[in-house]
A and B are shown apart, each in its own frame.
Chain A
């Protein structure tokens, strides 16, 4: 490979990276405190270099700025988001091997981790439907865990629901149905509520988000 070709490739890659980070930086300009901007810019550049989605980080920076979060905490918040994206990409790579981790999958998994789902539960749900947008299934699992259902049992129920044909936002209805069963007068235990919903599948009532 000639020196000129190497230089041309280097310029092209640098320009491409600059264009991607520039997009985020442009949106941050004038809104993020000047004291935080260089650190955030470098986090965004690292995300681009690692092929991580930058939009969640831009949103976190805009959010912190709107809330007048001090610069150091603002940067820490964005950095925490970056680390979650990085962890999410590892999970996605394991669950969906043989292809570059889709940015949508990585962002959805990072959001699920932020909601408190464990890596193994996330990975299991991803493995069941590797080519479908994972957001609804992960949020359904996080909803169940937030309502004190056992995480593994919650994942079992969602896998059953998927195997019985429920897809996308219909999986959120499974979580809603389980919560309704739990709150039904007479008092069901969480495992009884999950068993009852499992017996209903796939006929859970469509509900509001």
Chain B
């Protein structure tokens, strides 16, 4: 900023007669004095008051919109959203998501352990009312593992998680008829002297299943 001439300053302060000033300073004095008079003449109005006055003088045109148009405009417009999270619920949500993402889908079967595998039992028994698998993996207990035929096409099936290794088994049809699995890869004499055979299943541990 360039400093104001000392003589001009004294004249503005009333300490010097403006007539004593040189011609160029006299012109400056006249301009500054006029500006000061104008500022004194203006009423003190705030910026806000002036803006509101301007708005009142020039109101925005009111558009008549239907509800659909207003809804579309509301949907398309940006909205500030404030989300307040409680840490405990956030952690619970994260744990739930991790459970869903990390656990394998297994059609309702429990996840096999290292020394377990999944066995699939399938049999064609048209007209049967019930089919179950009974074998060494369930102590030859009845009612432990039932096969299902949900679409009633005569093909009964069930999946089970079993210990890896060999298991002898048979199907029990309608609660009374013992039959070997016709699709089994192996059979072994049951040892009771009537020449009946058990089906033999070898369950591979999941780590060895292709």
Contact = CB atoms under 8 A, between A and B. Distances in A.
Contacts of A63: 136, 140, 168, 190, 198
Interface size class of chain B, counting residues whose CB lies under 8 Å from the partner chain: 20 to 34
A69 B208 contact: no
A77 B192 contact: yes
Interface string A68-105: 01000110110011000000000000000000000000
A59 B188 contact: no
Contacts of B168: 59, 63
B208 A170 contact: yes
A73 B192 contact: yes
A139 interface: yes
A93 to B, nearest CB: 22
Given A73-B193, A169-B202, A143 B186 contact: yes
A114 B140 contact: no
B210 interface: yes
Interface in A129-145: 135-136, 139, 142-143
B188 A66 contact: no
Nearest to B203: A209
A66 B186 contact: no
A60 interface: yes
Given A27-B139, A111-B188, A172-B204, 9 more contacts: A59-B168, A66-B134, A67-B190, A73-B193, A74-B192, A81-B191, A135-B165, A139-B166, A170-B208
Interface of B: 117, 134, 136, 139-142, 165-166, 168, 178, 185-186, 188-194, 198, 200-205, 208-210
